[in-house]
Chains A and B, each alone.
Chain A
Amino acid sequence: MSSAPGLRVEGVCFDYGGAGVLQNVRFRLAEGEFATLLGPSGCGKSTLLRLIAGLEQPLTGSVEWHGLPIEGPSIERSVVFQDYALFPWLDIRDNVALAARKAEPALKRSEARERASELLSRVGLAEAARKYPFELSGGMRQRGALARSLATGAQVLLLDEPFGALDPLNRARLQDLLLDVWQSASPRKTFLFVTHDIDEALYLGDRIIVLGAAPGHVIADRRIAFERPRPRAELFSDQRFIALREQIAGAMSAETLAVIEAAT
């Protein structure tokens, strides 16, 4: 495993209106790693992502990037939310161009638009560049949001259930697009992908971090060592994959049972 000084989450606790959301969460991500963060709804995984983005500050503990504490949002770390990532009053190209100009203020408007058009072709949205978010399907909007994240030049992409609202076919297409974007970048960017779908987590990641709920804490942290590319049909019928899936599902339901028992 590479030991590049990437992202460090150390003993993080967070609390929202008196209710514990995260408790003593710790893990490290190497630079260029594709990690998935799996957990049931309400386990604080989105909150953890917001802490890493710098949108919130931990109560105790620290979140560091390259050894420096994260004190606020930065264009170095981009977030793709489930929906509503794009500003509805700008067309897709201008949404992406806005991000490009924030990353590189010297860029002229026309140059930023040109770069936006290139990125939109990259994510398969060349035809829709001049459309507004309300004119696009959920999948197209998420392609646009991905293009915007690429336009920021961010080295860290934090993805908060970005494909959660998509139909299965679109979801699979976008997963493959995301993998292609990650694999073709040099040097590779660090991806942290939040999901509550165990298959999605295992298909995408090099590494899976599983959170338990109430309050959120790490219950498992595994390498996913399947070679890429990973054709879905082969992967999902691979005995090692099935065993890993069982293990993680087992850990999650044991955790849920323990929480229920503790409560009664």
Chain B
Amino acid sequence: MKDVSKIILEQVEDYNELLDDKVDTSAGDETVLFGRGGVLDSVDFVRLLVDIEQAVADEYGKHIALTNEKAMSQKNSPFRTVGTLSEYIKKLLEE
């Protein structure tokens, strides 16, 4: 099965096609998605999360909800970089 980081990066690349201000993914797992240093506004970010949720569901056959209460209240946001998001998704997939 495809690695979660890879899925996220693919979705970011896809989404980049719609954006003027593109997310530079050359840093791989360190790529900033949201928060300081990120270029996505909150609506773009919501749409990207939805795409990632769907891509993960297609690959792993399991539906995960990325924006549950736990995620929203964590001190270190799991949404900050490709790496943190990927770790977070892996945890959800194991649950």
A and B assemble together: no
Interface residues of A (CB under 8 A from B): none
Residues of B bordering A, CB below 8 Å: none
